[in-house]
Amino acid sequence: MSNNATKTGGLSKNTLIIGAVVAVIALWAISAYNGMVKEEESATTAWAKVQSAYQRRADLIPNLVEVVKGYASHEKETLEGVINARAKATSITVDPENLTPEKLKEFQAAQGELSQALGRLMVVQEQYPELKANENFKDLQVQLEGTENRINEERNKFNDAVQTYNLKIRKFPNSLLSGIFGFDKMAKFEADAEAQKAPDVKF
């Protein structure tokens, strides 16, 4: 009887230990998963703000083009360049759940072309004093300058959020779970210095 009691007691003790270990692992897994979800959401929200800032710029462009056209309609090539670059930039969208380096590079390239086209458009106003003095044009320039600053700010915030997320999923022991639950590394916004240079919209 004593041997059986000892075995039963030992079995119960082992079961409790195993149960406790499993519970600790489960709690850690839940905590790690929730932490990764939180950082992923922060990164995708930051990306949405980047896109929103770019969309704000795209929304300003038609009005800007119309004002310039009123004073410099023969600058056809420059105006068409802006219109075409805007169309290309707005046609490229990137799913925040699939921020691959390739997709982000394509998005950046299109936005960079639009930045360059806008830069050329801003140079045009120097040749037209009446355009330069137009209040609507001045207002659009101020809005565009503010939007370019906002874009830069949101890109930086996005990169910070992505770095935090990438570290979260790659550090041990979270790295043991990230692959299982489908948490993939996100690409950072690494804009080309020239292509992404904000157009000069100052007088």
Tell me the per-residue pLDDT of 87-134, one tens digit each, with 9 for 90 and over.
Answer: 999 999 888 877 888 999 999 999 999 999 999 998 988 889 999 899
pTM of structure: 0.81
Whether the link from the prior residue into 96 is cis, omega within 30° of 0, is: no
pLDDT of residue 128: 92
pLDDT value, residue 53:
96
User: Does residue 199 register a pLDDT over 50?
Assistant: no
User: Hey, what are 30's tokens?
Assistant: 């839940």
d(CA 132, CA 136): 10
Q: Put residue 182 in one of left, alpha, beta given phi > 0 → left and psi -120 to 50 → alpha.
A: left
Mean per-residue pLDDT for 165-193?
88
Q: What backbone torsions phi and psi does residue 197 show, to the nearest 5 degrees?
A: -70, 130
- Secondary structure (3-state) at 72: coil
The SS3 of residue 52 is helix
53 close to 189: Cβ distance less than 8 angstroms: no
